[in-house]
Structure 1
Amino acid sequence: MLQAEALMSDHLAEGLPTWDPEHDDVLICRQVRQETHDVKTFVLEPRTASLFRFKPGQFLTFDFEIGGERINRSYTISSSPTRPHLVAITVKRVPGGPVSNWLHDQMRPGMQLRAVGPLGEFTSLDRPAAKYLFLSGGSGITPLMSMARSYHDLALDRDIVFVHNARTPADIIFRHELELIARNLPGFCFVPVCDSEGASERWGGYRGRISRPMLEMIAPDLLEREVFACGPAPYMAAVRAILAEIGFDVARYHEESFDYTTLVGESEETVRQAAAAETPTFRVEFTKSRRVVECDAGTTVLNAARAAGMRLPSSCAKGLCGTCKSRLVSGKVEMKHAGGIRQREIDQGWVLLCCAKPQGDLVVER
């Protein structure tokens, strides 16, 4: 039997177990797809035959070894759980971004990655509604694409208005597939919006940044819809401002965003208040940056570092995404996480700084 047919036979075997990163966290790249000039999709499968079980909109957190350094990044799954033998992430090249550039330049079929997950609560599956409005900007399209693909694969004709903002027509990720979904599902409406025409195509659709008049024209019944939004920080801020202006029910608004340049967590005032409380204060030394900060027993290491002016990788600040994962060289912490770290990593001395509170002096490899 040829290799491809052998793989197919393994995939189609009955009774395959669910992929369990605690048992084997290695994923193998099977295909790299060029979506746009700066966006690629990486199709992955488990090293041992198993199936992915996840909700559309969830993400995986990856461990990358780049230039001798371990870097954790979370990427939303862009594929549908209705096709469980493979999983895909879709990544935009970010200027200066160590991980996105490495993936675009180095990742090839046959190479391996390590991941944990699936994680996250950003999914329409848990929030059934008669009408949805999907809003995405740039590569923020990925979780919403997973949801759209799921409805399409299951022939579930939901009332969905999918608005996607891109720079030019050439930057519309998954354009042809979304147009196909719109043709196949009468209740699905795909509305791309472009900042400008670009060099290769004249654009006759909506143009410009997302705005209240635009949304009210595209979805006049906006107030009746369940809204899911994902995109870069300025895009998300604009969406929230629009919805606040029209008095949208915030209980029906859901967002997802991974912004590695912004620390998310307690405010600096909260950190200062905690520091002033009657709690023990400990010394936290960071080996790579050669910084030392003071952190009381009631404050997370991440927020103490933030208050001291340090910028450490972080995203969710809930112990969920794993972005702030760091090795604890010495000392002990109290840590209540939400799944962003494996038990064996904890046993090996790794911690999530966003939910780690010191129980004594610490030395952290950062």
Structure 2
Amino acid sequence: MSSTQALESLVPPLQSAVCWAEEDQAVLVCTAVSDVTHDVKNFVFEPEGEQLFEFDAGQFLTLMLDIDGTPVNRCYTISSPPTRPNRIAITVKRVVGGTVSNWIHDNLVPGSKVNALAPLGAFTLTRKPAEKLLFLSAGSGITPLMSMLRTLYDLGSDADVVFLHSARTPSDIVFRSELAAIETLMPNLRVVHICEADYPSERWGGMRGRISPTMLSTIVPDFLERTTFNCGPLPYMEAVRRILGELDYDLANYHEESFSFDDPSKPGAVPPPEGVSYEEIAAPTPPAGADDGVTTYAVEFTKTGKTVSVRADQFVLDAALAAGVRLASSCSQGMCGTCKIPKLSGEVEMNHNGGIRPKEVAAGKILACCSKPLSDLSLDA
């Protein structure tokens, strides 16, 4: 069976079971915690109920946490494969100053329970199958690609895969031993690591430095023939896009997902996600009240009893926060689904990145972070 056929045939193994994808949220029970590197841990969860974890390799879930009495949502890519539906895992790097990553490392232990929203995200191999693949990752950006690779391995795929991962030092290579083991069992897989520097206890003997056009062409001479999946910090992502552009790569075969790890620097700011995925960064919108002839609409929040003026070129969430209406939100990129609101009346223009399902849109729900008004609105929030 080809990799394309295998991926297209991937379905829940027990059709009669209740799949988590049909639920808005679930309670997860932590069953195992293990060290992956000196600052990265793997957390394995099982459902509190009888659900199966149904998702696409590369998708993420949103953890709904309570940290010191404050509700905080964060998105983390699922590192386990959908071919093992009874458990789900996330792999989290401890970030200096990161509120959520440090809390998870210090507090989540076997037996801990957390609430989570069902998996979402458009960065998936299942929806873009190919026979020749190039996986590019840096740091914790390896997690969605690891889910993809584990899926291919479980399915016995014959896909031709080159996995090129960049790390600061040998000690920072995430899933190093597992990648080596899978490489010995998948004849069409080649794994290459690039390290910027040595580690005190290990001198690196492989490729050194940062990814470059020459390095990519040397390691993967047939890269023009491959479908590329890329994930990592923003500077790495920008470098890869620039390199591929210089080498005349067809970007129609390029798919990316990036990570933002920093906590907000200003009190009251909407926190960016630690490990959240997004495929586009929304352009900033002008401040509310700018007198330049742009149409303004009245947006009513029925539960709070407040009505806010929102420009036609402004996202509902931005205007609400500026006016003091506190709405649940996390990624602000149309990814995590945290800011989902039932729309009672009116029309919006919504450009999301996988954070809302078609059936929810049909039911009248919107994501406030990526919706602009086309008329006056009434929202159930």
Q: Does the C-alpha gap of structure 1 residues 304 and 240 become closer, same or farther in structure 2, counting only changes over 3 Å?
A: farther
Q: Does the C-alpha gap of structure 1 residues 275 and 218 become closer, same or farther in structure 2, counting only changes over 3 Å?
A: farther
Correspondence for 2:120: 119
CA contact (8 A) 2:333 2:353 kept: no
Mapped pair 1:276 → 2:277: no
Deviation at 1:352, TM superposition (A): 3.4
For residue 316 of structure 2, what is the amino acid of its counterpart?
V
Correspondence for 1:205: 206
Correspondence for 2:258: 257
CA contact (8 A) 1:116 1:340 kept: no
CA contact (8 A) 1:193 1:208 kept: yes
For residue 189 of structure 1, what is the amino acid of its counterpart?
R
Deviation at 1:278, TM superposition (A): 4.6
Between the aligned partners of 2:154 and 2:340, the Cα distance in structure 1 is: 40
Deviation at 1:295, TM superposition (A): 2.9
The alignment partner of 1:150 has SS state of helix
CA contact (8 A) 2:288 2:309 kept: no
Between the aligned partners of 1:131 and 1:41, the Cα distance in structure 2 is: 29
Q: Does the C-alpha gap of structure 1 residues 225 and 13 become closer, same or farther in structure 2, counting only changes over 3 Å?
A: closer
Correspondence for 1:317: 333
Deviation at 1:236, TM superposition (A): 0.4
Correspondence for 2:153: 152
Between the aligned partners of 1:276 and 1:193, the Cα distance in structure 2 is: 50
Q: Which stretches in structure 2 are left out of the alignment for 5+ residues?
A: 1-12, 263-271, 273-279, 302-307
Greater percentage in helix: 1
Identity across matched positions, percent: 48
For 1:287-366, what aligned pairs fall within 5 Å after superposition? Answer: 295-304=310-319, 315=331, 317-318=333-334, 320-322=335-337, 325=339, 340=355, 352-355=368-371, 357=373, 359=376
Question: Taking structure 2 as the reference length, what is the TM-score of the superposition?
Answer: 0.76
Between the aligned partners of 2:116 and 2:372, the Cα distance in structure 1 is: 21
Farther-moved stretch of structure 1 (141-150 vs 250-259): 250-259
Farther-moved stretch of structure 1 (350-359 vs 230-239): 350-359
CA contact (8 A) 1:60 1:117 kept: yes
Deviation at 1:255, TM superposition (A): 0.4
Between the aligned partners of 1:162 and 1:47, the Cα distance in structure 2 is: 35
Farther-moved stretch of structure 1 (128-137 vs 20-29): 20-29
CA contact (8 A) 2:160 2:188 kept: yes
Correspondence for 1:222: 223
Q: Which stretches in structure 1 are left out of the alignment for 5+ residues?
A: 1-11, 286-292
CA contact (8 A) 2:44 2:90 kept: yes
The alignment partner of 1:125 has SS state of coil
Question: Taking structure 1 as the reference length, what is the TM-score of the superposition?
Answer: 0.79
Correspondence for 2:8: none
Q: Does the C-alpha gap of structure 1 residues 120 and 205 become closer, same or farther in structure 2, counting only changes over 3 Å?
A: same
Deviation at 1:219, TM superposition (A): 0.1
For 1:30-179, what aligned pairs fall within 5 Å after superposition? Answer: 30-179=31-180
Matched positions, count: 336
